[in-house]
Structure 1
Amino acid sequence: MAAAKRIADEPAFVLHSYDWSESSLILEVFCRHQGRVALVAKGAKKPSSNFRPVLLPLQPLWLSYALAADGNADIHTLKGAEWVGGHVMPTGDALLSGLYLNELLLRLLARSDPHAALFDAYTGVVRVLASEHGDALEPVLRSFELLLLRAIGLLPSLAAQTMTLAPLQADTRYTLVPEGGLRAAAAAERAALPGHQWQVLQHALDDAASHQATVRACAPVCAELKPQLRTLLQYHCGSPMLRTRQLMIDLQTL
């Protein structure tokens, strides 16, 4: 009988966990080299389990797990989990924002499809969320939304109009819409940006250090970007509405 293949010391984050039995959990994790992976953590709910205090969202981990002998199983077996350390759990709005990003990754990433650069960007965002982030919260969220859409092939070029490929005019306002990509904005559309600002965003995405560059490019235009990106993301996530997004809306109405 062939020995099970083992993935060892894999950088990862827990995106979500589900009850599997009275004592075990199914985990959805985001790994740097393996992409989104489902794992069973046997006995993780037991008070004596070493997994219990470690398998938390928004905490950097090193995971080890065993694949089935044929490598085709959808759910693999967690063998080890170690907290990397470095920051505390985000709280308040930052915690809710982190759970929102986790839900996006769950809804949009295919399993076993690695995105190392996106993982590194996510790591940076989580570090900001756990810090005294101040005004950095909105730029890192908008930046990650752009990087996620680009990584999975759902972001059109921001340097030209999508349908016609016509170059953008510096002072003409354009809006990003789900079915039409980037197009000239109607006079009544408030969620739009001038052509030169879309080009700045595209240049930042093309930068070798795209995460930091995109954060800087997003900072002055977060208010205009937010509704456009949220609409585009919800469109690709499909129905129902993102749970974290609905929770944000409900909290704002209290």
Structure 2
Amino acid sequence: MAAAARIADEPAFVLHSHDWSESSLILETFCRHRGRVVLVAKGAKKPCSNFRPVLLPLQPLALTYTLAGDGSAEIHTLKGAEWLGGHVLPTGDALLSGLYMNELLLRLLARDDPHPALFDAYAGVVRVLASEHGDALEPVLRSFELLLLRAIGLLPSLAVQTMAAAPLHADQRYTLEPEGGLRAASAADRAGLPGHQWQALQRALDDSASPGAALRACAPVCAELKPQLRALLQYHCGSPMLRTRQLMLDLQAL
């Protein structure tokens, strides 16, 4: 019998885990070169397991695993996990924000669909969440939402009106809606941005040579972007409401 194919030292993050047996876990992971991958970590819940202190969310890891069967199976077997260090686990609002990103990836990313640039953006946001730069929390989340939507083909061009395919006027306000894309804002729309700001966001997304371009473009318009991107993301995630989003609302209501 041929030996199972092996993936070694794959940069990854754990998005979610749940019990598989009394001693093992099923892991949803986000891998740089392999995309969203499901792994079984046998014996990970045992007190003596080397996996136990390592398999945590929002921590950079290098994973080694074997592919089940011909590699097309949904669940593969974890063989090794190394913490790459660099930062501690985020806390408070930063932790909730990280779990929110994880839920978005679980709901929106197809399995085995690599997105290395999105992985790098995610890793960068996690580093910010683990730092004490609380003022950067909103900009990094908005930029990640934009990059995620674009990576999976759910973000319309921000340089033109979606339905009319007409250019934007620099000083006219436009709003991004789930079903109609970018359109001219009406008096009833509470959220919107001038055309020149939408165009700046599009240029930043197109600037692959500058990883921080999207972050810088989002910084001055975070408050206006937030409700529009949240509505678009929830639309594509479907029901029910994102659990982390509901948790944030519940905490704000206390």
Task: Indicate the TM-score class for this superposition, using the shorter chain for normalisation.
Answer: over 0.9
Equivalences for 1:14-33 in 2 at 5 Å?
14-33=14-33
Q: Find the counterpart in structure 1 of residue 244 from structure 2.
A: 244
CA distance in 2, matches of 1:211, 1:186: 34
For residue 23 of structure 1, report the CA deviation from its aligned partner.
Answer: 0.3
CA distance in 1, matches of 2:91, 2:211: 23
Deviations 1:2-56 (A, max 9, x none): 1100000000000000100000000000000000000000000001000000000
Q: Find the counterpart in structure 1 of residue 60 from structure 2.
A: 60
Q: Find the counterpart in structure 2 of residue 46 from structure 1.
A: 46
Equivalences for 1:138-177 in 2 at 5 Å?
138-177=138-177
The question of whether the paired residues in 2 share the 8 Å contact of 1:39 and 1:77 is answered with yes
CA distance in 2, matches of 1:73, 1:208: 33
CA distance in 1, matches of 2:195, 2:170: 4
For residue 68 of structure 1, report the CA deviation from its aligned partner.
Answer: 1.9
Q: Which amino acid aligns with 2:114?
A: P
Q: Find the counterpart in structure 2 of residue 118 from structure 1.
A: 118
* 5+ residue gaps, structure 2: none
For residue 157 of structure 1, report the CA deviation from its aligned partner.
Answer: 0.2
Q: Which amino acid aligns with 1:166?
A: A
CA distance in 1, matches of 2:160, 2:203: 12
TM-score in terms of structure 2 length: 0.99
Alignment partner of 1:77: what SS?
A: strand
Q: Find the counterpart in structure 2 of residue 74 from structure 1.
A: 74
Q: Which amino acid aligns with 1:54?
A: V
CA distance in 2, matches of 1:237, 1:79: 32
For residue 72 of structure 1, report the CA deviation from its aligned partner.
Answer: 1.6
Q: Find the counterpart in structure 2 of residue 3 from structure 1.
A: 3
Q: Which amino acid aligns with 1:6?
A: R
Q: Find the counterpart in structure 1 of residue 36 from structure 2.
A: 36
Q: Find the counterpart in structure 2 of residue 201 from structure 1.
A: 201
CA distance in 2, matches of 1:65, 1:134: 36
Q: Which amino acid aligns with 1:105?
A: L
The count of residues paired between Structure 1 and Structure 2 equals: 254
Q: Which amino acid aligns with 2:110?
A: A
Alignment partner of 1:138: what SS?
A: helix
TM-score in terms of structure 1 length: 0.99
For residue 67 of structure 1, report the CA deviation from its aligned partner.
Answer: 0.5
Q: Find the counterpart in structure 1 of residue 192 from structure 2.
A: 192
Q: Which amino acid aligns with 2:238?
A: G
Q: Find the counterpart in structure 2 of residue 253 from structure 1.
A: 253
The question of whether the paired residues in 2 share the 8 Å contact of 1:12 and 1:29 is answered with yes
Identical-pair percentage: 85
CA distance in 2, matches of 1:112, 1:82: 21
Runs of 4+ aligned structure 1 residues displaced above 4 Å come to none
Q: Which amino acid aligns with 1:216?
A: R
Q: Which amino acid aligns with 2:198?
A: W
Alignment partner of 1:27: what SS?
A: strand
Deviations 1:63-98 (A, max 9, x none): 000002311210000000000000000000000000
* 5+ residue gaps, structure 1: none
Change (3 A) 1:82 1:75: same
For residue 210 of structure 1, report the CA deviation from its aligned partner.
Answer: 5.0
Q: Give the root-mean-square deviation of aligned CA atoms.
A: 0.7
Q: Which amino acid aligns with 2:187?
A: A
Deviations 1:154-189 (A, max 9, x none): 000000000011000011100000100000011121
For residue 208 of structure 1, report the CA deviation from its aligned partner.
Answer: 1.8
Q: Find the counterpart in structure 1 of residue 108 from structure 2.
A: 108
CA distance in 2, matches of 1:29, 1:231: 26
Alignment partner of 1:175: what SS?
A: strand
Q: Find the counterpart in structure 2 of residue 232 from structure 1.
A: 232
